[in-house]
Amino acid sequence: MSDIVATNQTILVVGGGISGMTAALEAAEVGKQVIVIEKTPSVGGRVTRLYKYFPKLCFPTCGLEINQRRMAANKNITVLTMAEVTDLQGEAGNYTATVKVSPRYVNANCTACGACGDVVAAEFDDEFNYNMSKHKGAYLPHNMAMPKRYVLDPGIIGTDDAQKAKDACKYDAIDLDMQEETIQLKAGAVIWATGWRPYDANKIQPYGYDRIDNVITSVEFERLMDPFGPTGGKLVRPSDGKEAKNVAFIQCAGSRDINYLKHCSRICCMASLKQSTYVSEKYGDDADVSIYYIDIRAIDRFDNFYQKVQQDKNVTFIKSKVANIVENKANGNPVLNGVDTEGYHRYQNEHDLVVLAIGMEPSVDKDTFPIELKVNDEGFIEFDEVNGGVFAAGCSSDALDVNRAVQSATASALRAIQVVNKVAQAEGQ
């Protein structure tokens, strides 16, 4: 790691998701030195786990590939994966970050041939698929992983599996002696792009996420559609693998609720409208989708998409926040109880599968930032002078969709560039 050059003119990007990638590219492509710190073994973040984008219903893999190629081709960008910022000191123009780099046990010789994965027996929960499937002890995080390099799960280190993997490798790519490293990096400005995580659905007790197999979250539903996902792209429910044709979406699951997240997570309405098209895509006219909502927030041009879904006769909109869900023990169907607002009818509706349109919260807990930042009640970083040369990008600044996250990232790149330009001027360069 000693070969990494970082100076007061370097821009440090914390997080390698869509926002971090965008900010890094924008800054690097105007000639700035950028270091990206990514916690997981590959860049791309949550976008890599999406099947389709709204409103165009195109595949995120497309734009992701373009960004990855831009990054690979750019000499100004250094990416550190499996790395976390543990401390950050200093001020605008002069920061020192302490970065902990976890061992990958696989070096740059790796060709992703997969021989190590074939011989390893141990399996671990695959976080990439929200633990709905397992990955081997030696694995590629996902098909489009960048860097395209295998990882050894720390769980197999010291076991026979580790040695088997090493022996199977024809390229001398497995190094079982790799150790955790702590390095210090200088930076003039920091772009904080740590993104979001889905709200913990277990906290919404009346919806029984922890008790009812066929109640899942929207991020899990998204993974079902991936041909390489936990179900191989089949839209089936978890309890018995039955085709999920009658699907209910519950909006504001965790959002806009003083008991959970106070803010509107912004993406969930569009996400559910988008996901309603997945059911039609799989089952055509057999699809029977119900969307339970307080109000649909499809702003600006998204309204066109909303109107299109409204015209789909297989999609029903029910204006009601569902009160609770119980399970029909006979067939595993979740039963939704509530009262609708259009006529105040009490309903007890049974569905094959219930998808909670889960809220978005910042992935870094409030009060755990390594440096003083202005953070609002919801944990998002505000734009404020107190932050000095640290600029929030994407979902660390607010609940945003990809489009707005990218705009936010570009803005933060521009701000960071101004800081390092000042440093350059002061240093007479």
Partner 1 sequence: MSDINTGMVEKYRNNFLKEVEANVEEGDWVKMCMQCGVCSGSCPMGPYWDHPPQELFMMIRAGKRDEVLTSTSMWMCTSCYNCIVRCPRELPITHIMHGLAHYATRLGIEPKGQPTRQFAQLFWDNLAKNGRVNELWLGVNLYFMNGLVEGIKVAMGMAGIGFGMLKAGRLSLKELVGGHTVKDKKGFKAMIKKAQELEAARIDNAQ
The token pair that represents 179 in the structure block: 């150790």
Given 96, 133, 341, 421, the residue binding partner 1 (CB under 8 A): 341
Which contiguous run of DSSP H or E holds residue 160? helix 160-168
Strand partners, 407: none
What is the smallest separation between the CB atom of 319 and partner 1, expressed in angstroms? 8
Which contiguous run of DSSP H or E holds residue 119? helix 115-119
Q: Which is nearer to partner 1, 258 or 330 (CB)?
A: 258
CB under 8 A: which stretch of 13-21, 256-264, 354-362, 396-404 binds partner 1?
A: 256-264
Q: Are strands 346-350 and 138-139 parallel, antiparallel or unpaired?
A: unpaired
152 touching partner 1, by CB under 8 A: no
Given 321, 374, 404, 422, the residue binding partner 1 (CB under 8 A): 321
CB under 8 A: which stretch of 51-59, 210-218, 249-257, 274-282 binds partner 1?
A: 249-257
CA–CA separation, 25 and 53 (whole Å): 21
Find tokens 């105007």 and name the residue.
30
How many of the chain's residues bind partner 1 (CB under 8 A)?
A: 21
Alpha-carbon dihedral of residues 56, 130, 125, 135, nearest 10 degrees? 0
Sequence-distant (6+) residues with CB within 8 A of 330 are none
CB under 8 A: which stretch of 33-41, 167-175, 308-316, 320-328 binds partner 1?
A: 320-328
**Residues 97, 184: contact at Cβ < 8 Å?**
yes
The token pair that represents 411 in the structure block: 């803005």
Among left, alpha and beta (phi > 0; psi -120 to 50; other), residue 298 is beta
What is the smallest separation between the CB atom of 206 and partner 1, expressed in angstroms? 7
What is the smallest separation between the CB atom of 261 and partner 1, expressed in angstroms? 10
322 touching partner 1, by CB under 8 A: yes
Given 323, 382, 384, 386, the residue binding partner 1 (CB under 8 A): 323
340 touching partner 1, by CB under 8 A: yes
Coil, strand or helix at 181: strand
Coil, strand or helix at 137: coil
Site string (187-206) toward partner 1, x via CB under 8 A: -------------------x
Given 294, 326, 335, 424, the residue binding partner 1 (CB under 8 A): 294
Burial of residue 103 (number of CB atoms within 10 Å: 0-12, 13-18, 19+): middle
* DSSP, res 393: -
The token pair that represents 110 in the structure block: 């790796």
CB under 8 A: which stretch of 116-124, 127-135, 304-312, 341-349 binds partner 1?
A: 341-349
Q: Which is nearer to partner 1, 192 or 292 (CB)?
A: 292
CB under 8 A: which stretch of 114-122, 253-261, 359-367, 370-378 binds partner 1?
A: 253-261
259 touching partner 1, by CB under 8 A: yes
Interface residues toward partner 1, by CB under 8 A: 206, 252, 256-259, 294-295, 319-324, 337-341, 344, 346
